[in-house]
Amino acid sequence: MKERAATTGTADRAATARPTIAILDYGSQYTQLIARRVRESRVYCEIFPHDVTPDELRERNVVGVILSGGPSSVYEPNAPSVDRRVVDGRLPVLGICYGMHLMAQVLGGEVAPEGTREYGPAMVEIGDHGGLFEGLAPSERAWMSHGDTVRRLPAGFHGIARTERVPVAAMTDGRARFGVQFHPEVMHTPRGAEVLRNFLYRVCGATGDWTPAAFVEEAIAELRREIGERHAICALSGGVDSAVAAALVARAIGDRLTCVFIDTGLLRENEAEQVVATFGPRLRLVAVDAADRFLVRLAGVNDPEQKRSVIGEEFVRCFEEEAAARLPAATIAGQKPVLVQGTIYPDVIESRSRESKTSARIKTHHNVGGLPEVMALDVVEPLRRLFKDEVRRVGAELGIPEDILWRHPSPGPGLAVRVVGEIDREKLDILRRADAIYLEELRAADWYRKVAQAFAVLTSVRSVGVQGDFRTYGYLVALRAVTTEDFMTADWARLPYDLLERISSRIVNEVPSVNRVVYDVSSKPPATIEWE
Ligand code: XMP
């Protein structure tokens, strides 16, 4: 098998040996969902651009192909297509919606707009229960979302399901090629996961061996090969991704990995202590108290984007100093040391699609992505092919405690973007206390795991109140909790009134200088999740 470029990550190369399902992306909003469903079936898959060549698929040990749905119509000029050799029968293929239309068209069939468009739920009458539909009832509910259908089947294909309006709701060549008009990957197709599993197991011969334990074993072997005798350094943020990446690399190379945890002074209550207590005993951990430097540089800074840039810059500087202090003695002549990063698959997919689209810059996200350019380090990203839920399962496999694994994501600039306007130590302390009470009550009421992200914001509003017999002029704390799958859109969480009441009452009673609490009921968009 051909070796891939030296810049590719660990899991990337591990995947070359592993039987892989290729998902060709035609721009469907559900493409990532297909990948997650396949992985949930314990089968390894990757998303490829739709113009991938058969040679590339062969190099990646692809054993089956799924063509995703997409918003285009196959008969439009410039509609995204597929290399005919990918669908000519050498490999098992499942075309979903647009993917089905495309396969039909490329193989000589005909696709046309449907007279009466079928969107949303439909009943699919199954005519053939072999292969793809094994185990399903004669009639199943399924989700439709395209206005085109296969009007004429390609030679050698026959229909295996229909709906009231669509005569060819599924097709096959009777061997290993299938097309479905509906979306098996969405929840609204209740038995869709079985359809996908039938394709993976019965048609492609997958064995379901993609497990956290298997990933750990392969990743460790790969990391050892890639890092060799070199030393590595990793910025531990306290979040899930960097924690799992570090734990994995530590398994592979032991204390040749140095983890640097920078306490920016912008962390939540007890966060620094918890990171040190959790990772101190299992990793070579350097904890740096840099709160003073960050606060000095942030003094007088009001603008959120400027806060982000100051913090980003200071973070790089701090990290560089630590790396310079820890690595040189250990560096092998002529070989670059390694920088471990916790990049995960959605980051990779998102940055790939960001490259291909021009989108307005809404808010810059600070992470340590800028580091390798200023430092002579080789980047290793052992999680770059994993989804978040897989990262958590791998973390559990590595023995990382649950409360770290299930932690809500938090912004790189930390509480700096949750104190509105200028920051100082006093405001940070007030926010930390209010935020800690909020999270404590959410956990006690079993709501922490039900929301995707929850936090308090110290607003710059001060208002009049009465506490005891005194008139007060205190801070306004806002609480935010959101539900979201992808953090691109989000809805405010419907927390129970009595829970909100308890939180509010504790905050105004226990946090001096706060006399009013409000709950943020805006969704994203038009708001963002963070206030700054
Ligand atoms: P927004 O506020 O943009 O947040 O709706 C979406 C997700 O991104 C996180 N976020 C950040 N993460 N650096 C980060 O690393 C940042 O500057 C930043 N700003 C927002 C936010 O917490 C949410 O999860």
Tell me the DSSP string of 108-135: T-EEEEEEEEEEEEEEEEES--SGGGTT
CB 411 near ligand 1, within 6 Å? yes
Instruction: Report d(CA 415, CA 512) in Å as an integer.
Output: 19
CB 520 near ligand 1, within 6 Å? no
Cα(145) to ligand 1 centroid in Å equals: 31
Residue 14 within a domain: no
Residue 499 within a domain: yes
Cis peptide before 526, with omega less than 30 degrees from 0? yes
Q: Do residues 306 and 279 touch, judged by C-beta distance below 8 A?
A: no
Residue 527 within a domain: no
Q: Are residues 177 and 268 in the same domain?
A: no
Q: Ligand 1: which atom is nearest the Cα of residue 412? A: 15
Mutate to test the pocket of ligand 1, among 365, 410, 491, 492 (most ligand atoms within 8 A of CB): 365
Residue 411 within a domain: no
Angle at 218 between CA 214 and CA 219, to 5 degrees: 115
Q: Do residues 185 and 67 touch, judged by C-beta distance below 8 A?
A: no
State which of 172, 203, 234 marks the end of a domain: 203
What's the confidence (pLDDT) of residue 346?
83
Residue 122 within a domain: yes
Q: Name the active-site residue from 50, 101, 146, 183.
A: 183
Q: Are residues 457 and 321 in the same domain?
A: no
Q: Which residues are CB-neighbours of 522 under 8 A, at least 6 positions away?
A: 492
Cα(530) to ligand 1 centroid in Å equals: 6
Domain boundaries, position 281: 212-405
Cα(253) to ligand 1 centroid in Å equals: 32
Sheet holding 93-96, edge to edge: 45-49, 20-25, 62-67, 93-96, 177-180, 170-172, 158-162, 110-126, 139-152
**CATH code: domain of residue 58:** 3.40.50.880
CB 366 near ligand 1, within 6 Å? yes
Q: Are residues 48 and 172 in the same domain?
A: yes
- Our count of domains for the chain comes to 3
CB 487 near ligand 1, within 6 Å? yes
Q: Are residues 428 and 317 in the same domain?
A: no
CB 525 near ligand 1, within 6 Å? no
Q: Are residues 234 and 372 in the same domain?
A: yes
Mutate to test the pocket of ligand 1, among 418, 492, 529 (most ligand atoms within 8 A of CB): 529
Partners of 525 in the β-ladder: none
| Annotation says 185 is catalytic | yes
State which of 149, 168, 203 marks the end of a domain: 203
- DSSP code at position 232: E
Residue 401 within a domain: yes
Cα(532) to ligand 1 centroid in Å equals: 9
**CATH code: domain of residue 236:** 3.40.50.620
Residue given tokens 């791998």 in the structure block: 394
State which of 373, 405, 437 marks the end of a domain: 405
CB 307 near ligand 1, within 6 Å? no
Q: Are residues 49 and 172 in the same domain?
A: yes
CB 529 near ligand 1, within 6 Å? yes
CB 237 near ligand 1, within 6 Å? no
Give the closest residue (by CA) to ligand 1 atom 10. Answer: 411
CB 409 near ligand 1, within 6 Å? yes
Angle at 192 between CA 190 and CA 194, to 5 degrees: 110
The alpha carbon torsion through 162, 163, 168, 170 (nearest 10 deg) reads -60
Torsion sign over Cα 411, 414, 419, 420: negative
Q: Name the active-site residue from 45, 97, 204, 318.
A: 97
Both tokens assigned to 5: 């470029």
Mutate to test the pocket of ligand 1, among 483, 489, 530, 532 (most ligand atoms within 8 A of CB): 530
Neighbour count for residue 315 (Cβ, 10 Å): 23
Give the closest residue (by CA) to ligand 1 atom 11. Answer: 411
Pinpoint the alpha helices (H) of 357-460. 371-374, 388-397, 402-405, 425-444
Q: Are residues 274 and 385 in the same domain?
A: yes
Q: Are residues 494 and 446 in the same domain?
A: yes
CB 412 near ligand 1, within 6 Å? yes
Instruction: Please report, in tens digits, the pLDDT of each residue of the chain (532 residues total).
Output: 333 333 344 445 444 568 999 999 999 989 999 999 999 999 999 999 999 999 999 999 999 999 999 999 999 999 999 999 999 999 999 999 999 999 999 999 999 998 766 688 999 999 998 899 999 999 999 999 888 999 999 999 999 999 998 999 999 999 999 999 999 999 999 999 999 999 999 999 999 999 999 999 999 999 999 999 999 999 998 889 999 999 999 999 999 999 999 999 999 999 999 999 999 998 999 999 999 999 999 999 999 999 999 999 999 889 988 888 887 555 556 678 899 999 998 888 777 765 444 344 445 554 444 454 556 788 999 999 999 999 999 999 999 999 899 999 999 899 999 999 999 999 999 999 999 999 999 999 999 999 999 999 999 999 999 888 889 999 999 999 999 987 888 999 999 999 999 999 999 999 999 999 999 999 999 999 999 9
